[in-house]
Amino acid sequence: MLVLGVDPGLALTGWALVDGEGGRLRLNSAGYWRTQAGLEQGARLLQLWDEMGRILAAARPGAVAMERLFFSRNTSTAMAVSQARGVLVCAVAKAQVPLVEYTPAEVKQSVSGSGSADKRQIARMVRLILGEEVPAGPDDLSDACAVGICHQHALGLRRAVTTAARAGR
């Protein structure tokens, strides 16, 4: 299944299309959307809506995996990220693609084995898992890859449990 991993943000949103066909994870493509700081907030949110709609229509992923917002000490940043997340979630719903959400700790645990891994460790593990095909870019890009990997791992676990349950009958 092709999964669109998303690390939402108002200024910068990372995205990654992670393919799990054939028992091996492969990066289909990845990038990020940067909104212009000087624009009115509504225009920036509309840009995210348009970008998400474009990628959903072009890639037709089987699911979208998005990082869930965690509490931030900076209230204004948390509000901007939550508004961006809301717009992205609505675009996913409009496209009728299943959405799954993971906490940052769940993503880190799935990718690195530690829920407290730092950004450098996550970026390194993403490259080890997906190979050198991960493009250079901001942390949001490798974080989006990590969210996609996390969902692919969850899908693999579900398949293994289903297979084991059937075999045990």
Mean pLDDT by 10 residues, the chain (169 residues): 96 95 88 94 96 98 90 72 94 98 93 86 91 82 95 81 73
The answer to whether residue 67 is catalytic is: yes
Distances (CA, A) of 122 to 61, 62, 145: 23, 24, 10
Closest C-alpha among 74, 48, 24 to residue 140: 48
- Out of 19, 51, 140, 143, the active site residue is 140
pLDDT at 64: 98
For position 73, what pLDDT does the model report?
67
Q: What domains are defined for the chain?
A: 2-167 (3.30.420.10)
Instruction: Say whether 19 is catalytic.
Output: no
Which of 51, 67, 101, 132 is the catalytic position? 67
Examine the residue annotation and report whether 50 is marked as an active-site residue of this protein.
no
Report residue 93 as tokens.
């719903």
How high is the pLDDT of residue 84? 93
Q: Among 7, 19, 51, 143, which one carries the catalytic annotation? A: 7
**pLDDT at 119 (0 to 100):** 87
Please report the pLDDT score of residue 158 as a whole number: 66
Tell me the two tokens of residue 99.
């959405």
Token duo for residue 98 = 């299943």
